[in-house]
Amino acid sequence: MYDTLTTSYTFACPVHGETRVRLSRFLRLDELPGAHHPAVFRVEFACGCGHEHPGLVTHEELDWAPLGAHDGTRFVNLMTSRVEPVGDELVDLAATRIKAGEWPWSFFCWPEERPRPVYPSAFKLLAPAANGDRVGVAVRCPVCDRVSVNLVSRSHVDVPFVNDREVGVVEHLFEHDAASTLAEFHEELWSGTFDARRLGLE
């Protein structure tokens, strides 16, 4: 379902039959009640056909697949002349970067006034700008459990370890149900103002 090399998910589309969607084109993520190993998320995404569709992703597909875990793609290693799985290389690279203090995804927690590492499963709502490369992301902080809204580039969301140096932050404490509908969230987000915050994680 997830293609590591194109950083995109494959979903069914009633118009095209199948479509590839990057994470920044997700609109809403909700964890379904029930099994937690793995947890399953219902997502809504903006499809290339011009409509919004629902889909299902597991916790592993959302948080681990972008790092190369379980990627079955194979490549010819020119150093050894052997065909080897690319997943092992990608996981080793991700582990090395995390040990060096880099994190695949990060956001700025406004209540705590500090950057925090995060996984995509913490994203709740996303609202792409009508024009340009920016996307607003409502994120539930894994530490304080409160929702902050950041304005970031699409690459910040789509590509692991590509973190913006500065992000826009909405200086507002959102209640758990404040972003109840995507339309209300989108309207509130793009009518608000943002303050820049540095996003370096130590």
The enclosing domain of 53 has a CATH number of 2.40.50
* pLDDT higher than threshold 80 for residue 183: no
Q: Rounded to whole angstroms, what are the CA distances from 16 to 10, 19, 51?
A: 12, 7, 11
pLDDT of 42 strictly over 90: yes
Q: Evaluate the omega torsion of the peptide bond into residue 111 and state whether it is cis, within 30 degrees of 0.
A: no
Domain contains 85: no
Distance from C-alpha of 167 to C-alpha of 201, rounded to nearest angstrom: 13
- 53-111 per-position pLDDT tens digit: 999 999 999 999 998 877 777 777 778 888 877 777 788 888 898 898 889 999 999 89
Q: How many residues does the chain have?
A: 202
Is residue 77, in this structure, part of any structural domain at all?
no
Confidence of residue 193 (pLDDT cuts 50, 70, 90): low
Residue 143 lies in a domain: yes
Instruction: Classify residue 82: in a domain, yes or no.
Output: no
**What is the tally of structural domains in the chain?**
2
127 occurs within a structural domain: yes
Check whether residue 119 and residue 38 sit in a common domain: no
Q: Is residue 87 part of a domain?
A: no
Q: Are residues 116 and 57 in the same domain?
A: no
Expressed as residue numbers, the domain containing 113 is 106-198
Q: What is the pLDDT of residue 174?
A: 66
Q: Is residue 61 part of a domain?
A: yes
Q: pTM of whole model > 0.85?
A: no
C-alpha pair distances (Å), 166 with each of 66, 169, 190? 23, 10, 18
